[in-house]
Amino acid sequence: MTETASPDSRSADTGDARWDGLIVGVSLATLDGADGYGGIADAALGWRGGRLTYVGPRARLPGPEDALADELIEARGWITPGLVDCHTHVVFAGDRAREFEMRLRGESYEAIARAGGGILSTVRAVREADEDTLLAQSLPRAKALVADGVTTLEIKSGYGLDLASERRMLRVARRLGEALGITVRTTCLAAHALPPEFSDDADGYIDAVIEWLPVLHGEGLVDAVDAFCEGIGFSPDQTRRLFEAARALGLPVKLHADQLSDLGGAGLAAAFDGLSADHVEYTSEDSVRAMAAHGTVAVLLPGAFHVLRETRLPPLDAFRAHGVPMAVATDCNPGTAPLLSLRQAMQLSCTHFRLTPEEALRGATTHAARALGLDDRGVLRAGARADFVLWDIAHPAELGYWLGGRLCRGVFAGGRLIA
């Protein structure tokens, strides 16, 4: 039997203006509540001006269906909030399929990186690509994510590692949002790796990144600041200096934390009221407590876990015990997570991390929105942004069940059909 949302989650705009659109006959997974899918059978969803105006039973609509909206759609299946991919590296040039072969022959991620592969191989390709080339190569990846339900997309820089190339990546990220009609949140990840010109001077490179931040922020290209805090990346002290510079500019921070070892990265992110700590396979319980105290979201990245054939699980029970929200993202990147479906990341999170399908769906909607500092999406509720997806499924659990396939029948962003 379909669960029914509480009366408080059903709200209607009863003003005189007609709605832009109304879908009837579907089931809704509102996620409006702490537990369960917030399911409503034989439901209706209305919107106007890019915001939801009605979320509730069809039988309780405030007037005749054909008189309420300019466009009336009769449908079957389930509607969920639009998916939010809160950690991606979608903008890049070239690929690293050769490195995939190397890993299959036994080479480690760290060994490949130290030999000049990994991130630096993509840096070379990005530096050689002009903006239009970079856009042309990145657009199909972003389109694939949208086609499988993504309506909000975080995109990091970090494959340029000089001011001009980082700027170019961030400009392309903004252009992707404009081209696809979705929300794109940009994250400056210049502290991703050491470029060749700073190969023996990590502190000097952090100084350079700190100088770039006001420039990029002043051009409206940065929504958040990230770093790779790891033995093959940047130290906690170097990361702290960068975060202090971000805080001085009023920019929120995120962190690639505790992926390969426990350097206390998640706790460091929490100390700066970070939006999220991402990867978190080696995060300690002390850091989990800090995340809970500061409202920092744990972003799980099962695609990289899968591709790298990792065995160290994130501290999932500790996250649950301390009430740390767990988001799920693709980590779409050319080296360790060539993953073009957030729904597939949801399935991998269920398989590898034993998340329930409900946890995975919340992780790719409500909690992912929180990991980007957005409180107007990730749930179906009157007043929320009209980002939603119509799925050809009999139950929301199928979104964490099927491996591949085409389940998406329509993707709406701001009330507009975009895929």
Question: Does residue 12 lie within any of the structural domains?
Answer: no
> Residues of the chain with pLDDT > 70: what percent?
96
In this predicted structure, what is the pLDDT of residue 96?
Answer: 87
Full residue range of the structural domain in which residue 395 is found: 19-81+380-417
* Claim to verify: residue 76 and residue 145 sit in the same structural domain: no
Q: pLDDT tens-digit profile of 75-102?
A: 999 999 999 999 999 999 998 888 888 8
User: What CATH number does residue 32 fall under?
Assistant: 2.30.40.10
List binding-site positions for 4-imidazolone-5-propanoate. Answer: 96, 159, 192, 259, 336
* Claim to verify: residue 307 and residue 184 sit in the same structural domain: yes
List binding-site positions for Fe(3+). Answer: 87, 89, 256, 331
* Claim to verify: residue 303 and residue 412 sit in the same structural domain: no
The count of structural domains within the chain is 2
**Is residue 170 over pLDDT 80?**
yes
User: What CATH number does residue 285 fall under?
Assistant: 3.20.20.140
In this predicted structure, what is the pLDDT of residue 107?
Answer: 86
Question: Does residue 2 lie within any of the structural domains?
Answer: no
* Claim to verify: residue 71 and residue 122 sit in the same structural domain: no
In this predicted structure, what is the pLDDT of residue 15?
Answer: 58
* Claim to verify: residue 288 and residue 398 sit in the same structural domain: no
Question: Does residue 7 lie within any of the structural domains?
Answer: no
* Claim to verify: residue 69 and residue 109 sit in the same structural domain: no
How many residues would you count in the chain? 419
How confident is the model over 24-42, as a mean pLDDT? 96
Question: Does residue 4 lie within any of the structural domains?
Answer: no
* Claim to verify: residue 32 and residue 112 sit in the same structural domain: no
Question: Does residue 26 lie within any of the structural domains?
Answer: yes
Question: Does residue 350 lie within any of the structural domains?
Answer: yes
* Claim to verify: residue 102 and residue 243 sit in the same structural domain: yes
* Claim to verify: residue 337 and residue 394 sit in the same structural domain: no
Q: pLDDT tens-digit profile of 245-283?
A: 999 999 999 999 999 999 999 999 999 999 999 999 999
Question: Does residue 13 lie within any of the structural domains?
Answer: no
* Claim to verify: residue 223 and residue 288 sit in the same structural domain: yes
* Claim to verify: residue 124 and residue 185 sit in the same structural domain: yes
Higher pLDDT, 191 or 404: 191
Question: Does residue 112 lie within any of the structural domains?
Answer: yes
How confident is the model over 401-411, as a mean pLDDT? 95
* Claim to verify: residue 243 and residue 363 sit in the same structural domain: yes
List binding-site positions. Answer: 87, 89, 96, 159, 192, 256, 259, 331, 333, 335-336
In this predicted structure, what is the pLDDT of residue 360?
Answer: 98
List binding-site positions for Zn(2+). Answer: 87, 89, 256, 331
